[in-house]
Amino acid sequence: MNFIVLKKGSIIAILVTILVITVGTIWSLSSKNSYPTVSLSEKTGEKQVIQLVTGEFKSKTADGKEIEAYRWDPGTIVVEKGKEVELRIYGVNGMEHPFYIEGTDIKGTVKKGKETVVDVTFSKEGTYRLICEMHETIENNGPMIAYIVVD
């Protein structure tokens, strides 16, 4: 008798387990499908505003040598092809950063405590580099290069 009772119990346990797995799978699949996608710009048709700052990493090596690197932050931005983009770059670290965007005629300078505003529209997909001429390489306290991904 005990044996039969146990068996009934385990059948119920198995059925409950299968039910839980099925419901869980359906729930996770349906919630994955309804996962919201976000856009950087709030309204279509308006220009996309992206804010950056100039930053600095500083450290000391084991032998006491001071090393530093200036950076654009964020280091990678994504913009839409054919859409008007406004880059607002605020100078925090470093006195000034003369820059250009590779593959465009855009040039400018970011100064400490000031915001430099650049309007740009990329008509071709690809990855463009925002390069600080003063801090382009490790030897010159860089690489101060940001990547603009146009998609």
Alpha-carbon torsion angle 61, 54, 103, 108, nearest 10: -130
Q: Is 146 in the site for Cu ion (CB under 5 A)?
A: no
The answer to whether the beta carbons of residues 72 and 52 sit under 8 Å apart is yes
- Which segment (4-12, 38-46, 78-86, 134-142) binds Cu ion by CB under 5 A? 134-142
Nearer to Cu ion, 120 or 132 (CB): 132
Q: Is 70 in the site for Cu ion (CB under 5 A)?
A: yes
Q: Is 97 in the site for Cu ion (CB under 5 A)?
A: yes
Q: Which of 134, 140, 145, 147 binds Cu ion (CB under 5 A)?
A: 134
Place of tokens 């000031």: 114
Place of tokens 């000034």: 96
The answer to whether the beta carbons of residues 29 and 47 sit under 8 Å apart is no
Q: Which of 50, 132, 146, 148 binds Cu ion (CB under 5 A)?
A: 132
Query: Residue 71 burial by CB count (10 A; 0-12/13-18/19+): exposed, middle or buried?
Result: buried
Q: Is 85 in the site for Cu ion (CB under 5 A)?
A: no
Q: How far is the CB of 104 from Cu ion (least distance, A)?
A: 18
Nearer to Cu ion, 128 or 143 (CB): 143
Q: How far is the CB of 94 from Cu ion (least distance, A)?
A: 5
- How far, in Å, CA of 84 to CA of 118, rounded? 10
Interface with Cu ion (CB under 5 A)? 70, 97, 132, 134-135, 144
